[in-house]
Structure 1
Amino acid sequence: MPLFPTQPRQLDTMDIDEPQPPARGSPEWARKIRVRNRRKLYLDRHPEYFGPSLELADPLLYDRLVRRFQTAAEREAEGRAKGYTGILEADLMRSEAKLDALAHPDPNSIFQYRRGPNGEILTEENDEIPQTKEEGMARWKWEMELRFVRGDDHDFDYPSVDDNEEWDDRLQEERDRQDAYFAREEPSWAVENGRAVRGETGIQDY
């Protein structure tokens, strides 16, 4: 089984952590679906969003899902991309996040932290953590995609995407309309010589 769900192309059935979601089929519901799909398409077209600076969105999660699998050369290259100030900021935020995790443990987190015998901060992991570099990066992108789609990136200009028709996936919307149309259609049946007969393109019971 996968360690995390496979993200759907359209997000209308995703759980975006809404305690009281709008009624399915309502105008508010349709608006939320359109906004989520616009945000998803934006990410599809801007893979650079998942660059090194995104580490600051959740330093601990990045540390356990991505950084732990990096080679020394990869960390050095990432450090050059961040710059000296970026490295210091990431290290500081990671340390502060670990202290906060110790003081306020989250039972739903896949990682837990505790003090070691010499005062060091140790990580305890459950069975759902990624075991390879590829799994770790995929999980990181999945978590960051959900964060973005929920609207939790407070540094991003969401109205530039949410209110812009440029980010509508026209081909997907047309496929969805066709699927909905055929789902509503009932087969036309005829009776010939006491036998049920389907349309010309269907199976005929002769």
Structure 2
Amino acid sequence: MREEERSIRLRAKNRRKRYLEMHPEYFNDSSLELADPLLYDRLIRRFQTAAEREAEGRQKGFSGVMATDLWRAEAKKDALSHPSPQSLFTYNRGPQGQILEEDKDDKPMSKEEGKAWWADEMTQRFLRGDDADFNYKSLDANDKYDDPEEERDIQEAYFDSMEPDFDSDGEGSEKILTGETGIQDY
């Protein structure tokens, strides 16, 4: 039974990965910022220009900006009181009580690298099933998201396992073809 559970989990992860390949707009959703506001701050916002931040703020509206700021502040407080070993970044209190990020050597150096790290982290989060706003049950049970190459491999294995009988009469002896050649004379 253990092998069967592993197979089911693997199939679900493969379907989730295929879903992300078919729906790249998942990463454009502004609500992903709220999934991990601190990580978004470190990987995306720090590389944004003032004009890009202003445009993002206009798109969200005043209430959206306030909500993300509140989420970010709560996430910082939570990161201080409950540090996660899985987190890429850690935080400490400064001398005046401000929340400071612990400087690590492994941080993105460019906007493109930050976006790549963000996409990878959100992909891993999605594959683990950690997006609380997503209905994984409908995705995991949907064979529409099965990998077409996997299906092709199963078919090839099936046909490779069959004994070819097109060149024999089923008795093990070869058929001698006689008759028409298939060339048409007009």
TM over 0.5, shorter chain = yes
Alignment partners' CA distance in 2, 1:127 and 1:42: 33
- The 5 A counterparts of 1:12-51 are 23=2, 26-50=3-27, 51=29
Which stretch has the larger CA shift, 94-103 or 76-85? 76-85
- Which structure's residues are more often helix, by fraction? 2
Alignment partners' CA distance in 2, 1:43 and 1:119: 41
Alignment partners' CA distance in 1, 2:129 and 2:140: 10
SS in 2 for 1:111: coil
Structure 1, unmatched stretches of 5+, are: 1-21, 183-206
Q: Cα offset for 1:105?
A: 2.6
Select the residue among 60, 63, 70 that pairs with 2:48.
70
**1:104 matches 2:104:** no
Q: Cα offset for 1:109?
A: 2.9
Alignment partners' CA distance in 2, 1:109 and 1:31: 28
Alignment partners' CA distance in 2, 1:53 and 1:63: 13
Higher CA-based Rg: 2
Distance of aligned partners of 1:48 and 1:106 in 2 relative to their CA distance in 1, 3 Å threshold: same
SS in 2 for 1:86: helix
1:75-98 deviation per Cα after TM superposition (whole angstroms, max 9, x unaligned)? 122222222222111100100111
Distance of aligned partners of 1:71 and 1:104 in 2 relative to their CA distance in 1, 3 Å threshold: same
SS in 2 for 1:106: coil
Identical counterparts, % of pairs: 57
Contact 1:52 1:78 in 2 (8 A): no
The answer for the alignment partner of 1:151 in structure 2 is: 129
The answer for the alignment partner of 1:115 in structure 2 is: 93
The answer for the alignment partner of 1:17 in structure 2 is: none
SS in 1 for 2:112: helix
Distance of aligned partners of 1:62 and 1:177 in 2 relative to their CA distance in 1, 3 Å threshold: farther
Report the count of equivalent residues: 160
Alignment partners' CA distance in 2, 1:123 and 1:164: 41
Structure 2, unmatched stretches of 5+, are: 161-186
- Which structure's residues are more often strand, by fraction? 1
SS in 2 for 1:125: coil
Give me the TM-score of the superposition, normalised by structure 1: 0.69
Q: Cα offset for 1:33?
A: 1.6
The answer for the alignment partner of 1:85 in structure 2 is: 63
- Could you say what the CA RMSD is over the residues aligned between the two structures, in angstroms? 2.5
1:64-123 deviation per Cα after TM superposition (whole angstroms, max 9, x unaligned)? 111111111111222222222221111001001111212223345332212223322211
Q: Bigger relative contact order, structure 1 or 2, given CA contacts below 8 A and separation 6+?
A: 2
Give me the TM-score of the superposition, normalised by structure 2: 0.76
